[in-house]
Structure 1
Amino acid sequence: GRWELRLTFSGILNDKLHGFYRSTYKDANGKEKALASTQFESTDARRAFPCWDEPAFKAVFRVTLVIDDGLTAISNARVISETSLAGIGKKEVVFADSMKMSTYLVAFIVGEFEATDPVMVGKSPLRVWAVPGKRHLAKFAQEIGSFSLSHFSGYYDIAYPGDKLDLIAIPDFASGAMENLGAITFRETALLVDEAKATRAELERVADVVSHENAHMWFGDLVTMRWWNGLWLNEAFATFMEMIAVDAWKPEWRRWDSFTVSRAAAMQVDGLKSTRPIEFPVEKPEEAAGMFDVLTYEKGASVLRMLEQYLGAEAFRDGIRLYLRRHEYANAETTDLWDALEDSTRQPVRPLMDSWIFQAGYPLISVERDGRGLILSQSIFRYLQDGNTPERKWHVPIFIRAGTKRGVVNRTILLTDPRVRVELPDDADWVVVNAGGHGFYRARYSPDLMADLKQALQTSLAAVERFNLVNDAWATALAGLTPLSEYLNLIDLLRDETDVNVWTSVIISCHNLNRILGEKQRDALRTRVRAVFAAALDRLTWSPRAGESELDRQLRGDLIGALG
């Protein structure tokens, strides 16, 4: 039969920023104030109340909070009653039942708060909450919050699963934000911003984080990974989807172009001997906490973008819709995602993606000309070539674009063998093997192919392809696979470069070189690169121009900073 377990327990608000904890701040008069908030992911719900604190144990939560008069209480669902308790200066706040969800998504927030007026997204009101005196900084977050929530509802073809959505700024918060269903908590700087005074980077940060957390309402809350080894199913998808939403909201920001910097950061870590697969065994709470890293988020999102571009955006989306419908209000594993994508697209997704999710590292694609074709070969990329590098093989979507006298020719192949020959048009002048920059791999071109690409650098290659060309050349030089002089010769060609992301890669590499070279070599490097930086700045102009883009303003600051 059915049993009911009742437990009476007590606890103390901690100041450790996890579990049910106390956050402090100073009000407009400098007086210290306190509020209470929760942070349960990954294994800290047990610090607040007795529970089976594992993601696969989902339940409906009915929350009642007794708080001081004058305070506000927020939880996962809407308030259904608020009753004053006569004579004791307190009130009882009762919330509606939550949907069936994991313990780490439960939230209670109690304190002095002010809210924006609600914006309706479908049938659900969306508000932004902040401590008194900061509500005026919530407008930008509410705009991207309502846009992204609506956008995701359409993309997934599933309505937002909560009955309301509160975005809550917490003064003391350990991470960027936490995707509690209906009550998302944020570090203040990730939610509140003065749009008139903020930099482009600050606005992007708020837009990214809000969109990321909203994406979790489906990936993470509605459908949750069965165990922490599958955390990427939550975080990689939320990272991928934040790019989808922000790019749709502000296409002039070119977020997929700037995501190449995040992809490169993941590749930098994944090129180390100490790297791990995206999905990795987890047995202890500290191991679960260790999964929140660049491999889960940025590498995971990168391989999803690669898969989306290989399958086609609509086919990929349809597979995601099937996955969510099959597992809503429940848990899933990586194999469940492959099943849905294969059933929807009729493509062999499992062998392709298993090589990226369960295998550490990524391939280096070496490219050589062979008569009227190309020879593509794959090997594992490692910065440290110590003679013990394992042999690994990936199923690699290769996006090829070749320039011919008749125009541009595009072709996509799936590289599954260590080496393959690909036919090219007879009159191909140049060829890129990571067209669009979507592949999570590096390319090393033979000297003759690299010479052709240098000729086409500013006329035929997209900004993201120029970024990859420069970043891959730097990485292979660091690994001792190509001469450093080849990388510096490539930098010499960037006097007309206008993309801020390309320059970000170059400036970082030059700073790193400056730290490791001897004094005479440093002087020679400075003279050489300063000439390139100055020429690029002269072309951009040293002073702002009327009507120039935010990206141009950002690039000018970066170049001036690099020149010192």
Structure 2
Amino acid sequence: MSSYLLAFIVCDFRSVSGMTATGINISIYAVPEKWHQTHYALEAALRLLEFYEQYFNILYPLPKMDLIAIPDFQSGAMENWGLTTYRETSLLYDPDISSASDKLWVTLVIGHELAHQWFGNLVTMEWWNDIWLNEGFARYMEFVSLEAVYPELKVEDHFLDTCFGAIGRDSLNSSRPISSLAENPTQIKEMFDTVSYDKGACILHMLRNFLTNEGFQSGIIRYLRRFRYSNARNEDLWDSLIKEDHFLDTCFGAIGRDSLNSSRPISSLAENPTQIKEMFDTVSYDKGACILHMLRNFLTNEGFQSGIIRYLRRFRYSNARNEDLWDSLIKYRFAGEHIDLKKMMYTWTLQKGIPLVTVKRQGRKLYIGQERFLKIVLPNDPSWNSLQEGYLWHIPLTYKTSHSDLEIKHILTTKSDVLTLDEEVDWVKLNTDMNGYYIVHYDEEGWNALTELLRVNHTALSFKDRASLIHNAFQLVTAGRLSLDRALDLIGYLKSEMHNVPLLQGLGYLQSFYKLIEKRNVADVTHNLKTYILQYFRDVIDKQSWSDDGTVSDRRLREEVLSLACDFDYPPCLGKAKQLYNSWVESSGAISLPTDVSETVYMVGAQDDSGWAYLLEKYGVSMCETEKRKFLSALASSKDSEKLSRLLQLGMEGTLIKTQNLPSLIYMVARNPVGHFLAWDFVKKHWNELVEKFPLGSFGIRNIIVGTVTQFSSTEELREVEDFFKSITEQVSQMRIIQVATENVEKNIMWLSRNLDTMRTWLQQRLN
């Protein structure tokens, strides 16, 4: 086994235990006073471990599996073999206090760490440049396992957000390939990022969709069996997916999330501790998961699964490389031809970025093109050609039309192509159900047709297609490729939307624009945008109950919508929240608030001196970390800068507020319009102390940098950020996250420059 997976713990914790159908003893450990919060984790661990044994067709090799909640733990969780460690918020669940979102989070994290027992432990990447083989797969298997074991949690809603987030990181030039260079500790730490986790998962999903479930699963099983107890590389995965003729031959083309130039390939160089730490990033986790999602959908569930099993068996108890995974996924036919899956997958893991697919329809002809999607560089920029040069993806396109519900597939391996439809159609929608990892840009006629379709009959498209249209449109606005008013017109149908995913997608963009403009003190636009949101979504807000009733999707919508309404000072929302808060205080915290709205209630209560002081007192005595997180978020929402400064100081001291929570606290304060300069000044002043607490390249230090810097949106602020990091160049020279953060500021500056006047005019027209 790999040495990084060894753990010993000496403690006097209390446990609860159970046994799987195959005789594996599972125990959940916590401090004695929180033992009652362990029972859901035991149920989830038992069910999920049994699922993985069946899915991978490889038994868990150890006699026991311990899961332990650590009171002060910087990581979210760690997959030590047979002894997985967690933050208390990631393992403990109290049904009287925890919300539906909390339950989903705990289940996802357990699913992630148990998936690592096969991907990472049984088969280990050969070097940190292929960390996505661990993290992208674990992130993707979270969704596969919960979809099968806990369908009521509606994890498919959450997966779209994962891929949308991956695209955001990948569309910056500072992105990286999924497989990237990692040569020192800082680079390795930074590999644990969105690219490895989320982009990896989305690309796997795209591949699974293309190969069919059966083909994908078969290749995965082959990979696991071939490399068990050994190390594997990027290409080992692709070889496992393409070498044997067990079922229908298809192919893959996954997607990246690199529209910033500071991105990296999924498989990247990592040669020192800092580089290795940075490999644990969005590229390894999120982009990796998105690519796997694409692959699974392309291969079919069964094909993907069999390939994964093959991979795990082949490389168990050893190390694997990027190519070992592809070798485990079998050779497919597509349109009568064998597809070189390894060659295809390298376009997704060895180059950074995400493709933009352009579509123009003339009669029965579809003119398709591809280019690299970039957010802060326009086609007329002198650097455009150099940033596009050499980029070509093998993209598994899928599309539907107004005349057919059948999904049509085509592999785009060239810069442009022409497809012929069977008949003329009213509209065409590419990237069916967002199973592919790419952005789609239609010509004017195409956007007009889809906008009209949403207005007249939005249910003609699936909720995933509706959400992806909204997402792609606003991403294109940010990139300067689509006008803001066209994207705003696209979401004009949302009053009729009944599904929470597209509804929250549209509402989320409007809220993010509000937060960005609010920090620039543009009073007229801020006021009008708030007024428009409250007027337009009033029916959605008013029909929400202050309870925990409904499905997980209903509860998630309620949590988000009521939080926004109270944040925007909507009188009915403030009145109800104050009423609930006062009743809770009068009972000395004895009555239970509805868990899904409790954070909103606390935030309203924290806005006066007595309420803030009471919540700080409750924070100190609460025995539930989930509840403490809600208290902390409420405390950080105060409009009193002195209170925010006190919070930051308490976080630095590490007694009342644990050190593990300091990065989150800094981010919470930075999001507050009163606190974003305060948080940045705090980081500059305490930088040396912060890097002593959180190693360079670690999640903690990266979250601190991104959480503070990406709140800025002016050239003066950008210059200040650049000057600060230049002053500590020796410390941060190997960290990609600095370029990611500064590119995000550039993106904010450009968005305001391009869109503020358009937003002002559009709002005036709608409100008048």
Which range, TM-score by smaller chain?
A: 0.7 to 0.9
Distance 1:522 1:556, change over 3 A: same
Match of 2:193 in 1: 293
8 Å Cα contact 1:399/1:436 also seen in 2: no
Cα deviation, 1:31-74, whole Å, max 9, x if unaligned, reads xxxxxxxxxxxxxxxxxxxxxxxxxxxxxxxxxxxxxxxxxxxx
Q: 1:73-84, aligned counterparts within 5 Å? A: none
The alpha-carbon deviation at position 545 of structure 1 amounts to 9.1
Matched, 1:447 2:347: no
Alignment: residue pair count: 460
Query: Which letter maps to 1:444?
Result: H
State the SS of the aligned residue for 1:109.
coil
Aligned counterpart in structure 1 of residue 418 of structure 2, from 418, 421, 432: 421
The alpha-carbon deviation at position 153 of structure 1 amounts to 0.7
8 Å Cα contact 2:51/2:149 also seen in 1: no
8 Å Cα contact 1:533/1:559 also seen in 2: no
The structure in which a higher percent of residues are helix is 2
The alpha-carbon deviation at position 123 of structure 1 amounts to 2.3
Match of 1:85 in 2: none
8 Å Cα contact 2:500/2:553 also seen in 1: yes
Rounded Cα–Cα distance in structure 1 between residues aligned with 2:343 and 2:157:
28
Matched, 1:346 2:246: no
Distance 1:188 1:543, change over 3 A: closer
Rounded Cα–Cα distance in structure 1 between residues aligned with 2:178 and 2:132:
7
Match of 2:551 in 1: 549
Q: 1:512-551, aligned counterparts within 5 Å? A: 512-514=512-514, 515-516=516-517, 518-537=522-541, 541-543=543-545, 548-551=550-553
Match of 2:101 in 1: 201
Matched, 1:307 2:210: no
Match of 1:388 in 2: 383
The alpha-carbon deviation at position 108 of structure 1 amounts to 0.1
The alpha-carbon deviation at position 374 of structure 1 amounts to 1.3
Rounded Cα–Cα distance in structure 1 between residues aligned with 2:229 and 2:116:
13
Rounded Cα–Cα distance in structure 2 between residues aligned with 1:490 and 1:522:
21
Rounded Cα–Cα distance in structure 1 between residues aligned with 2:242 and 2:229:
22
The alpha-carbon deviation at position 503 of structure 1 amounts to 3.1
Query: Which letter maps to 1:441?
Result: Y
Cα deviation, 1:428-483, whole Å, max 9, x if unaligned, reads 23221010111111111122222222233322111111111001111101111011
Match of 2:588 in 1: none
Query: Which letter maps to 2:538?
Result: A
| TM-score under structure 1 length normalisation | 0.79
Q: 1:252-291, aligned counterparts within 5 Å? A: 252-291=152-191
Please identify, of 261-270 and 519-528, the stretch whose mean Cα deviation from structure 2 is larger: 519-528
Please identify, of 163-172 and 504-513, the stretch whose mean Cα deviation from structure 2 is larger: 504-513
Distance 1:492 1:523, change over 3 A: farther
Bigger radius of gyration: 1
The alpha-carbon deviation at position 214 of structure 1 amounts to 0.3
Unaligned residue ranges in structure 1 (runs of 5+): 1-100
Rounded Cα–Cα distance in structure 1 between residues aligned with 2:44 and 2:382:
50
The alpha-carbon deviation at position 332 of structure 1 amounts to 0.6
Distance 1:105 1:542, change over 3 A: closer
8 Å Cα contact 2:451/2:489 also seen in 1: no
Cα deviation, 1:201-233, whole Å, max 9, x if unaligned, reads 100110000010000101000100011111000
Rounded Cα–Cα distance in structure 2 between residues aligned with 1:556 and 1:111:
40
Match of 1:47 in 2: none
State the SS of the aligned residue for 1:529.
helix
Rounded Cα–Cα distance in structure 1 between residues aligned with 2:544 and 2:102:
23
The alpha-carbon deviation at position 544 of structure 1 amounts to 6.2
The alpha-carbon deviation at position 165 of structure 1 amounts to 0.5
The alpha-carbon deviation at position 547 of structure 1 amounts to 6.4
8 Å Cα contact 2:358/2:440 also seen in 1: yes
8 Å Cα contact 2:137/2:201 also seen in 1: yes
Q: 1:15-94, aligned counterparts within 5 Å? A: none
Rounded Cα–Cα distance in structure 2 between residues aligned with 1:110 and 1:544:
43
Aligned counterpart in structure 1 of residue 63 of structure 2, from 160, 163, 166: 163
Rounded Cα–Cα distance in structure 1 between residues aligned with 2:191 and 2:162:
17
Aligned counterpart in structure 2 of residue 229 of structure 1, from 102, 118, 129: 129
Cα deviation, 1:390-435, whole Å, max 9, x if unaligned, reads 221111111111121xx42320111111111112232523221010
Distance 1:501 1:546, change over 3 A: closer
Match of 1:105 in 2: 5
Rounded Cα–Cα distance in structure 2 between residues aligned with 1:472 and 1:261:
12
Cα deviation, 1:272-331, whole Å, max 9, x if unaligned, reads 111111111111112111111111100011101111101111100000111111111111
Please identify, of 300-309 and 441-450, the stretch whose mean Cα deviation from structure 2 is larger: 441-450
Match of 1:378 in 2: 370
8 Å Cα contact 2:53/2:59 also seen in 1: yes
Matched, 1:361 2:353: yes
Rounded Cα–Cα distance in structure 2 between residues aligned with 1:253 and 1:422:
39
Query: Which letter maps to 1:236?
Result: G
The alpha-carbon deviation at position 546 of structure 1 amounts to 10
The alpha-carbon deviation at position 148 of structure 1 amounts to 1.0
Rounded Cα–Cα distance in structure 2 between residues aligned with 1:530 and 1:484:
20
Rounded Cα–Cα distance in structure 2 between residues aligned with 1:272 and 1:151:
37
Match of 1:435 in 2: 432
Please identify, of 478-487 and 382-391, the stretch whose mean Cα deviation from structure 2 is larger: 382-391
Rounded Cα–Cα distance in structure 2 between residues aligned with 1:502 and 1:487:
14
Match of 2:468 in 1: 468
Match of 1:409 in 2: 406
Rounded Cα–Cα distance in structure 1 between residues aligned with 2:104 and 2:555:
15
Query: Which letter maps to 1:234?
Result: N
Please identify, of 323-332 and 503-512, the stretch whose mean Cα deviation from structure 2 is larger: 503-512
Match of 1:139 in 2: 39
Query: Which letter maps to 1:241?
Result: M
Query: Which letter maps to 1:346?
Result: K
The alpha-carbon deviation at position 531 of structure 1 amounts to 2.9
Aligned counterpart in structure 1 of residue 562 of structure 2, from 552, 560, 563: 560
The alpha-carbon deviation at position 537 of structure 1 amounts to 3.6
Moved over 4 A (4+): 544-547
Matched, 1:397 2:393: no
Match of 2:582 in 1: none
